[in-house]
Amino acid sequence: QVQLVESGGGSVQTGGSLRLSCAASGADRNNWMGWFRQAPGKEREGVAAIQLGSGAAVYADSVKGRFRISQDNAKNIVYLQMNNLKPEDTAMYYCAADIRRERGDSVLQSTVYHAWGQGTQVTVSS
C-alpha cells in the first residue's frame, strides 16, 4: 500500500520560492510520481512528474522554467522546488503515485494515479 505525506506549503509573495516535499512509502521505485494542484472551483491539474528510476521529468507549460521536480532515493522523498511564484500558482498541492497508464495516457493526468497525499496549501499574494 502506497502512503504519501506532503509538507512545505505556506504563504509567500509574488516572486518568492517554496519547496514541497512528498515522503513516500510503498511506491514502485521504477515508476512515475507526480505533483498536482487544485485551486477552488477548478479541476485538478498536473504540475510535474518524475520517473523514479531514471529521473526523467515532465512539466506543465505553466510552470516550465520555474518549478523543478527532483527525488532523494535514499530518503524516498520527491521534491517540488517552486521559484518565481505567481498568484495563479495558489492552490492545494498534492503528491501522487501508484500510476496505471494505458497507451496514450499522460503522466500529468490525475486519473492515472491511484494513491494521493492529503495535500499542502500554497498561497501566493501579489
Q: Average pLDDT, stretch 90-105? A: 94
Q: Average pLDDT, stretch 100-109? A: 94
Identify the band that residue 16 occupies on the pLDDT scale cut at 50, 70 and 90.
very high
Summarised one tens digit per residue, pLDDT across range 33-60 is 999 999 999 999 999 999 998 999 999 9
* Nine-digit cell string for 29: 521505485
pLDDT given at position 108: 98
pLDDT given at position 53: 81
pLDDT given at position 26: 82
Indicate whether 29 pLDDT > 90: no
Q: What percent of the chain has pLDDT over 70?
A: 100
pLDDT given at position 18: 98
Q: What percent of the chain has pLDDT over 90?
A: 87
